[in-house]
Structure 1
């Protein structure tokens, strides 16, 4: 492309740019063109997935690490919760929920810092929080020590789990964003599988103290790798354009695409520039204004959608099966070591389900996967509730039938986990990173992650009581919640797959909240852009007037 054709894209007005915070220079690391790994195409994509996948693997490990620690007699003695009283159960559950509180704080920090210091330095700060939290948890001597350690560790995990999907979504080709996140969360479930079986092996072969302290300390391996590898990676091209480094953004986009087509790169870059020009018409919103002010980009509505998908994913019922899996397999009539072994085996099927998610997420799209997933989970959970009822009611009168029904409940739990993993798990994390405009993407994604932490804390606090109080009815409750969720998904959730992030600005900024109105207006806009596309193909340049969001 000729220099004169490039100048228009690079001619981003200084007033439309925002400099990084002056104190960002005090944080070592971050992006450097000279230090960034010199890979292109598929090798670069694989390298990005390695770092992002390790970060999300840490999330999977950290979020599951308390599943067998909570029942360790040595741990309970140190925490002063080994008397078996109701107060002890509440305290143990509280330590789990404190992690979710820290997770929400970490997400809020990302919303405040990501645009000020860049995506890579934000990842590094999250690692520091997590390293301190892991060290404190592994060395905890009492309840108060562990409580603060859980909060600090949660801050680090929430920090990483908010910023890493933003970073990868902004780096990825629009055709690969869903697959990027699906690969990452395949590794998240791999992390959960690793910690479950590590803890089980330690319980069977090592001392009780080693069995809970070693798995908590093992997380440091992930974190040190992330901390020291991050400075060698590319920064988000959208962040670089926002701070006026357009040529560096172009270079990164060229090196992170499987098939480098110069005209497509220039068109996407022009869309980013146009979006930044549009956002520059209003001052950058504060965290409070993001929630309270109605703007022409409909940011507040987007927050409701992003937070809504995170809350709904918790109300699908996944935590009552993944976190409290041994208790659920006990409802199937299994005793002794069988509930723990079945729960561990479920992680393998759960992880395998992400292979299907990688294939489907960009082919079927986010909206269809949510609808298919909730419909399917409604059916299997109803079946699980009926079978669990038969297990309990026939235990004394017909043990053979009760045993067969118990096997059916176990099959339902495995099938449910597979359905959730292949539909909702990827969608609920990629969707919030796609729907926000660049100016509020970090803050909006942070708000969605805070919603995840609040919903997760509430669910994890009430589910143990719910299982004890209503027994097999817990299946029916979550089945009905899945049925109810079909309504808002159908009405309000717009498809985001295979669309440029800047195209989504137009879709979500529509006056009507109903998806069909936005889609109709978007289709009309695409027809109007046909002439601009033809001009672009002929001349390799898009006029500013052709890119109105």
Structure 2
């Protein structure tokens, strides 16, 4: 809920006259738009720094302590943002707040994936993002209510301070949660890991728990052949676990999710509904209503994520968003062209654009939102999972920063063409998804080492080798080394 709240909290702060005066961005010049967009983008810079910190320390101090450390950063950032008096103060506050949020949003999905059963990892992360969108809905309507009932200063300072409540709860509750069993096994605490696996599995037997424990231990032994001091180097050079390929896939899915266009609708929702021809309070009300459909879309994601798998959801999502955004661009053009000559037709087109925005958001929430966060936590071996997921999150922050900086200019410069631009980007993304993205749903995390041991980057080669492996075409002796197993096939 904190992640959703924090990532959406600037949507109505950016247009608050009191906030703009304190930041010195109320002169009406082009510099103002750049400065306002820059403050939004600085959060993404901090987000990337927070992810890197997780990569450096999560394996040393454990997942739970790492979560608590992220809370400390985020609380400090919230306090500084709520008390900001000028642009420089707010800039540093946004970076620090981004560090905390990036820290938490990197480590929590890792912890979830390492704790969850293989056939429910996607559903667990989908539940988390349902709560994230609930947080986004809370902050949107909190800000709207404050704008209508309180002073302008209160309307932006109070919502920024309110998120500390989420963080204090996380910090105090974390010690009562179980540590990742995979982390415990890695540091030699096998008995604790065994107990957690028994308690975290539904209708399991001791034999199944021991089998999972043995698979994790075997994977750790294989991964231990990669010397820790050179780990960052092996992540960008060639190694037998093909870590570099996994980084490209993990970072790629995070970059692509930003280029689906979700930020130009979610972060700048009121502006997009203004493109639909609405004025006054209607754009803000429609943008707030869109959050309800966005949150509801996660119910479908919970159901589909592990049933259809990650590949299919990404392919279905991008195809559907391409078609919907093309329709949105056409309707938006007709709306503008007929605004003076045919107001009735223009109004109907405006209603159509609104429907497109709602449908698009629902599609994204039910397909891409969960997939892009769970996929990077699944594809990396345990020895580099924290660092690999951190790199993917850094890619998310860089792409998010770029998109949020240029979207205001795009909306002003090209108007309805912004729909067409992002529609074409969704179409282009179908190619790498189909060719290179291996299915991870309903598979043990340790099985991914065998899937990625294949020299070929194409998904069908990895799937064919993995099927032969599971069908018993390779001896148990050779299964201990994924690269050797695939070489034999």
- 1:455-495 CA distances to partner (integer Å, 9 max, x unpaired)? 00000000000011111011011000000000000000000
CA distance change for structure 1 residues 198 and 404 in 2, over 3 Å: closer, same or farther? same
* In 1, Cα distance between equivalents of 2:137 and 2:296: 11
Equivalent residue in structure 2 for 1:173, among 107, 113, 117: 117
Is residue 478 from structure 1 mapped to residue 422 from structure 2 by the alignment?
yes
Equivalent residue in structure 1 for 2:66, among 122, 125, 128: 122
Question: What count of residue pairs does the alignment treat as equivalent?
Answer: 482
Which structure 2 segments of 5+ residues have no match? 483-489
1:286 deviates by 4.7
- Identify the residue that residue 45 of structure 1 maps to in structure 2: none
Counterparts of 1:182-331 in structure 2 under 5 Å?
Answer: 182-284=126-228, 286=230, 288-331=232-275
CA distance change for structure 1 residues 396 and 95 in 2, over 3 Å: closer, same or farther? same
Q: 4+ residue runs of structure 1 moved beyond 3 angstroms?
A: 285-288, 529-532, 544-549
What is the CA RMSD across the aligned residues, in angstroms? 1.2
- Identify the residue that residue 142 of structure 1 maps to in structure 2: 86
- 1:328-361 CA distances to partner (integer Å, 9 max, x unpaired)? 1111111111111000000000000000000000
Q: TM-score, normalised by structure 2?
A: 0.97
Is residue 495 from structure 1 mapped to residue 457 from structure 2 by the alignment?
no
* In 2, Cα distance between equivalents of 1:282 and 1:352: 44
Which structure 1 segments of 5+ residues have no match? 1-56, 533-543
* In 2, Cα distance between equivalents of 1:527 and 1:435: 22
* In 1, Cα distance between equivalents of 2:453 and 2:475: 23
Does the 8 Å contact 1:290/1:443 carry over to 2? no
CA distance change for structure 1 residues 286 and 116 in 2, over 3 Å: closer, same or farther? farther
Equivalent residue in structure 2 for 1:340, among 266, 272, 284: 284
- 1:27-76 CA distances to partner (integer Å, 9 max, x unpaired)? xxxxxxxxxxxxxxxxxxxxxxxxxxxxxx11110010011111111111
- Identify the residue that residue 35 of structure 2 maps to in structure 1: 91
Does the 8 Å contact 1:529/1:546 carry over to 2? no
- Identify the residue that residue 9 of structure 1 maps to in structure 2: none
* In 1, Cα distance between equivalents of 2:27 and 2:174: 45
* In 2, Cα distance between equivalents of 1:201 and 1:79: 23
- Identify the residue that residue 446 of structure 1 maps to in structure 2: 390
- 1:428-465 CA distances to partner (integer Å, 9 max, x unpaired)? 00000000000000000000000000000000000000
Equivalent residue in structure 2 for 1:411, among 355, 359, 363: 355
* In 2, Cα distance between equivalents of 1:509 and 1:105: 30
* In 1, Cα distance between equivalents of 2:203 and 2:367: 28
- Identify the residue that residue 69 of structure 1 maps to in structure 2: 13
Equivalent residue in structure 2 for 1:159, among 103, 107, 114: 103
- Identify the residue that residue 54 of structure 1 maps to in structure 2: none
Q: TM-score, normalised by structure 1?
A: 0.86
Is residue 396 from structure 1 mapped to residue 396 from structure 2 by the alignment?
no
Equivalent residue in structure 2 for 1:376, among 320, 325, 330: 320
1:288 deviates by 3.4
* In 2, Cα distance between equivalents of 1:190 and 1:252: 29
Q: What SS does structure 2 have at the residue aligned with 1:308?
A: helix
